Amino acid sequence: MEAGDYEAAISFYRKAQERVPLPGTAIALGDLYTRQGRLNEAKRQEDFVEVIERAGAPGSVSRFEQQTNVKVAYSEAYTDNDYGLTKVFGPKLEKGTATGFDVIVPTYWVVAQLLEKNLLDQLPLERIPNHVNIDPALLGMAWDRGARFHMPWQVGITGIAYNPALTGRDLKAFADLLDPRLKGRVGMVSEMREVVGLFMLAAGDDPSRATFDAANAALDRLEAVQRGAQVAKFTGNEYVDALKSGEFAACLAWSGDVVQLQKDRPDIKFVIPAEGGIRWFDSMVIPKGATNVAAAGDWMNFVYDPANAAKITAAVQYVSPVVGVQDELVKQGGDSAKLAVNPILFPDDATRRRLYFWAGTTTADEEKLQARFDQITGAAK
């Protein structure tokens, strides 16, 4: 990879990634390679992992490199959690071989599964004094109380995005998506836990204490809705384009995508359903076999500095898991200061009480639920 090709590739990816899909981040931290130093080794590192400084954290990688002299390879090695588990890092970890990454950033339920199988290293907390800045609400996960094996990257909320000009009214509840007048103009995300969780909330069930029977009953209701052709598509964040074009009048959506969309389309609204919304986060973990654990800890400490975390929030516009970000956004002024009062990014206590993490089911049960969800939504392979 020549230097010109390297810079051109980064430029291409920056332009191509108008939105930031949170799942699917992988980072390889080089052995203290610098641009001025061991260039041959650095080049081999760059050839080993596709190097992309994503739109998700513009400047963060370069600032980290400058402060620490750690060479970073930042890669979109997988596009969703299932692909990562089955094709990228999962098979290698299961075989006891190194993944090639020092940090991977899957969604929290994947972290729980990896921990269950003892496939993660404990964080080098002695190198992460900013660990104290984790939002206390995220420290109580039953699968890693105190966050000794993970640090949340960004937090999202799954709610409803809609175009009032196309719905003809404000939408307030998940049940509103099932209004026959919206038949064929509704989108839903392709994440099983979020869709099933919202169907559970609509039925009065708690997805944070999910049982197989309650989740399976929610799938019964989803199947009936799908037979009636209410839902046009189950998508990733392609729903943003569908909202722009008018293909979707309303859809399930991820909060950060909508905050970004609203800069150009302030007519698009986002609401947490009256029944409740689904909260989720992607989290940084160190896979077994990582060779640069200390540098991985340094990266986590860097992004948990509130000033650095605020820059990331201003870019991706998801909920930050870092205490102190709101004050830093105010200090930055301008558009960043406006984000500090955005109720989607900084929900009040009453709203937080209506947000639920999916929890309670075993890995075996989740695999069964996922298989049925895939069959219903047409994603079964």
- 344 vs 319: CA distance, rounded Å: 8
Cα→Cα distances 287→65, 118, 292, 298, Å: 22, 10, 11, 16
How far does CA 153 lie from the centroid of its chain?
8
CB count within 10 Å of CB 280 equals: 25
Spell out, as residue ranges, where the chain has pLDDT lower than 50.
1-25, 30-57
What pLDDT, on the 0 to 100 scale, is given for residue 380?
A: 57
Q: Residue type for 104, please? A: I
Burial classification of residue 94, based on how many CB atoms lie within 10 Å of its CB (0-12 exposed, 13-18 middle, 19 or more buried): exposed
Count CB neighbours of 373 within 10 A. 24
Q: Which helix (DSSP H) or strand (DSSP E) does residue 300 occupy?
A: helix 293-303
The residue extents of the domains of the chain are 3-150+285-304, 156-279+353-377
CB atoms < 10 A from the CB of 205, how many?
18
Q: What is the CATH number of domain 156-279+353-377?
A: 3.40.190.10
How far from 53 is each of 64, 72, 156, 338, 370, CA to CA, in Å?
12, 9, 21, 26, 32
> Mind listing the pLDDT tens digit for each residue in 299-318?
999 999 999 999 999 988 89
Q: How is domain 3-150+285-304 classified at the CATH fold level?
A: D-Maltodextrin-Binding Protein; domain 2 (3.40.190)
Half-sphere exposure of 7 (CA within 13 A, CB side): 2
Contact, 150 vs 285, CB < 8 A? yes
Tell whether pTM > 0.95. no
Tokens of 300: 């986590």
Single-letter residue type at 159: G
Same fold, 3-150+285-304 and 156-279+353-377: yes
- The model's pLDDT over 260-282, given as tens digits with 9 standing for 90+, comes to 999 999 999 999 999 999 999 99
User: Rounded mean pLDDT of the chain?
Assistant: 85
